[in-house]
Amino acid sequence: MNDTRSLKTQNGAFRRFDAHVHTAASPDSDMPPALAIETLARQGLGCIFTEHLDYNKSIDHFMFDADLYPETYHRFRSDTVRIGIELGMNPDFEAENRAWLARYPWDFVLGAVHWFDAEGGDTYAHKAEIYAQWGDAAYGRYLRFARDMVERYGDVIDAFAHIDYPRRVLPLPERDLDTFAEEYDALFRALAERDIRLEVNTRRLAEPGAADHWVDLLHRFRAAGGRRVTVGSDSHEPTHLGYMYKTALRMIEATDLQL
């Protein structure tokens, strides 16, 4: 991992990136990388490719096409295009994850939790049935597992992705910081102590109450010592690139955080 926590351009000025982009190298996208770059450039944004690397026990490993990525993408690398990875943090595959990180000088490593240990094994955090069975307890366990993974992988990740990932299927009230105060604060302290950015994932920002929830999260992150964030659309198709970026910037400015 390079020293890219500032995400600076060559002349030292800060540049705005969509810092969570998936393209045809990932198994869940067929977007051409050149199209992603061009689309974001028209919005005045740089592009950070974050193709999937997600080892888990429950299904076939979910990862980028190693014949394409990252080597064939290197030709795109520039001051406004970075080569990154979305790393599925998992305690059972730490050796495999670290081996991949050592194989290439990644510009940006986005740590993520898509699978967590809710029942003594890998559980997909996007599986609605888990929350129907476990209720609020499942979300608390997700946050505690995320904190554990940040502590385990904190030396190699630049940012933590989509803290609201389970909310894509979990029917909880948006403004729930009191319910999970202990879990949120522990995770935010773990990030702040390691100077790891919190990603403002814009995928849900248009949903009712989601923007207010994110403002609550950012205030809490700031109170825990957090200083810096990224903005990521989590795009898998061109129409979503740069999604609600300006809204995210306004929330960041309102909570005294920095890109």
Assign residue 101 the CATH number of its domain. Answer: 3.20.20.140
Q: What is the C-alpha separation between 177 and 26, in angstroms, rounded?
A: 33
- Does some domain include residue 141? yes
Asked if the model's pLDDT at residue 71 lies above 80, the reply is yes
Closest CA to 87 of 146, 30, 138, 14: 146
Phi, psi of 113 (to 5 degrees): -125, 105
Q: Give me the pLDDT at residue 227, please.
A: 96
- Per-residue pLDDT tens for 187-200? 999 999 999 999 99
Could you tell me where the DSSP H helices lie in 159-244?
A: 181-193, 210-223
| Bridge partners, 159 (sequence order) | 110, 197
Q: How would you class 242 by CB atoms within 10 Å of its CB: exposed for 0-12, middle for 13-18, buried for 19 or more?
A: buried
Q: Give me the pLDDT at residue 114, please.
A: 84
> What percent of the chain is modeled with pLDDT above 70?
81
Question: Mean pLDDT in the chain?
Answer: 87
- Does some domain include residue 74? yes
Task: Count structural domains, the chain.
Answer: 1
Q: What is the pTM of this model?
A: 0.90
Q: What is the mean pLDDT of residues 146-175?
A: 84
Asked if the model's pLDDT at residue 121 lies above 50, the reply is no
Q: How would you class 123 by CB atoms within 10 Å of its CB: exposed for 0-12, middle for 13-18, buried for 19 or more?
A: buried
Task: Identify which has the larger pLDDT, 139 or 200.
Answer: 200
Q: What is the C-alpha separation between 160 and 78, in angstroms, rounded?
A: 23
Asked if the model's pLDDT at residue 11 lies above 50, the reply is no
Closest CA to 59 of 124, 113, 120, 117: 124
Asked if the model's pLDDT at residue 1 lies above 80, the reply is no
- Coil/strand/helix, residue 201: strand
Q: Give me the pLDDT at residue 229, please.
A: 97
Give the pLDDT band of residue 31 (cuts 50, 70, 90): very high
Length of the chain measured in residues: 259
- Does some domain include residue 248? yes
Q: What is the C-alpha separation between 98 and 93, in angstroms, rounded?
A: 9
- Per-residue pLDDT tens for 34-70? 999 999 999 999 999 999 998 876 656 678 888 889 9
Give the pLDDT band of residue 132 (cuts 50, 70, 90): low
**C-alpha torsion angle, residues 147, 151, 153, 154 (rounded to 10):** 110
Give the pLDDT band of residue 208 (cuts 50, 70, 90): confident
Task: Identify which has the larger pLDDT, 86 or 138.
Answer: 86
Assess contact for 198 and 160: CB atoms under 8 A. Answer: yes
Closest CA to 238 of 27, 41, 31: 31
- Which residues have CB under 8 Å from 83's CB, separation 6+? 49, 70, 73, 74, 76, 77, 104, 106, 107, 108
Domain that holds residue 241: 17-254
Asked if the model's pLDDT at residue 80 lies above 90, the reply is yes
Q: Give me the pLDDT at residue 20, please.
A: 97
- Does some domain include residue 5? no
Q: What is the mean pLDDT of residues 233-259?
A: 96
- Does some domain include residue 218? yes
Assess contact for 158 and 1: CB atoms under 8 A. Answer: yes
- Does some domain include residue 241? yes
Task: Identify which has the larger pLDDT, 127 or 54.
Answer: 54
